[in-house]
C-alpha cells in the first residue's frame, strides 16, 4: 500500500470516526466496511467533508457470499489434486459469520477534487429479502445501479424512488445473480402460434450437474503414434 493511500486511510478514519472499519485489500486499493445502520451517515461524510470530497459514485453492485470460503475451487493457487481443492472458511465473509452475512453492497467512490478512489462495503440487513438504505439522495447515479442490484440479487433499497427491474423481463421469476439460482432458470418464454402471443411456462429442461472432465491420459502422446527414430 502506498504512502498516499495510507495517508488517505488515516484521514478517512479520523473524519468518519468509528463508523468505518478498514478491510484488507489484495488489489492495492483502499476498502472500508460500514454497518448498515450507519451507511447514510458515512456516505454523506465521505461526500461532503472537504478533506475527502468523494462526490462521484462510479459503481454500485450487490454481492452474494453464499458458501464463500466453503467451495472446492481455490482460485489463488493450483494443485495437482484434481477437483478436490478443499478450502477453509474465510473469517469475515459469507455464511461463516451466520445467516445474516450473505448479501452485501459494494460502492466504488471517486474524488474528482483530490483524484482518489475508495471502496465501501455494507452488509445488508438480515432476513429475506435483504435490505439496505438507498443512497440515491447522496449520489443520484445510484438510481439505476440500485435497480440493477435489486433485479439481479433481490436486494431492496429503502427509500429508492422507483425500485423496478431493469435488465430482466416483466415476467421474470427470481434473481439470476444469486448463487442458488438454477442455471436453467425457472421460466421459459416461447411464442405460441395458437394464442398469437408470447407465453411463459415452467422450464422443461431437466436439471443436470456439469462437472469438468479431467483428462489424465492423452492419446496424442501414445508411444505408438510417435515417429520412429531416424538412422544414418
What is the reported pLDDT for 25?
76
pLDDT tens column, 154-184:
999 999 999 999 998 877 888 999 998 888 7
Domain ranges of the chain: 3-66+102-171
**Residue-level pLDDT at 90:** 41
The CATH H-level superfamily of 3-66+102-171 is: NADH:ubiquinone oxidoreductase Nqo5 subunit (3.30.460.80)
pLDDT digits (tens, 9 = 90+) for 51-107: 999 999 999 999 999 878 765 555 555 554 444 444 344 444 444 455 568 999 999
Q: For residue 12, is pLDDT > 80?
A: yes
Is residue 110 pLDDT above 50, yes or no?
yes
Which pLDDT score, from 0 to 100, does residue 109 have? 96
Q: How far is CA 54 from CA 8, 109, 210, in A?
A: 12, 6, 44
Looking at residue 158, its pLDDT comes to 96
* Average model confidence (pLDDT) across the chain: 81
pLDDT, average across residues 132-161: 96
Amino acid at each position: 500500500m502506498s504512502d498516499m493511500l495510507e495517508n488517505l486511510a488515516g484521514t478517512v478514519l479520523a473524519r468518519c470516526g468509528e463508523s468505518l472499519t478498514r478491510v484488507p485489500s489484495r488489489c492495492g486499493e483502499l476498502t472500508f466496511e460500514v454497518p448498515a445502520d450507519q451507511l447514510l451517515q458515512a456516505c454523506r461524510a465521505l461526500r461532503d467533508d472537504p478533506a475527502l470530497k468523494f462526490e462521484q459514485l462510479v459503481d454500485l453492485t450487490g454481492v452474494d457470499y453464499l458458501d464463500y470460503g466453503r467451495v472446492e475451487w481455490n482460485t489463488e493457487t493450483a494443485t495437482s489434486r484434481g477437483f478436490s481443492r478443499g478450502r477453509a472458511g474465510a473469517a469475515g465473509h459469507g455464511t461463516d459469520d451466520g445467516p445474516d452475512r450473505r448479501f452485501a453492497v459494494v460502492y466504488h467512490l471517486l474524488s474528482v477534487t483530490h483524484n482518489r478512489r475508495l471502496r465501501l462495503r455494507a452488509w445488508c440487513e438480515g432476513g429475506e429479502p435483504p435490505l439496505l438504505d438507498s443512497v440515491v439522495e447522496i449520489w443520484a447515479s445510484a438510481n439505476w445501479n440500485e435497480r440493477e442490484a435489486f433485479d439481479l440479487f433481490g436486494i431492496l433499497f429503502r427509500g429508492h424512488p422507483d425500485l423496478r427491474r431493469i435488465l430482466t423481463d416483466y415476467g421474470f421469476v427470481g434473481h439470476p445473480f444469486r448463487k442458488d439460482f438454477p442455471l436453467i432458470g425457472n421460466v421459459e418464454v416461447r411464442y405460441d402460434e395458437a394464442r398469437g402471443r408470447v407465453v411463459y411456462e415452467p422450464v422443461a429442461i431437466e436439471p443436470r450437474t456439469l462437472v469438468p472432465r479431467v483428462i489424465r491420459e492423452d492419446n496424442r502422446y501414445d508411444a505408438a503414434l510417435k515417429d520412429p527414430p531416424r538412422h544414418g
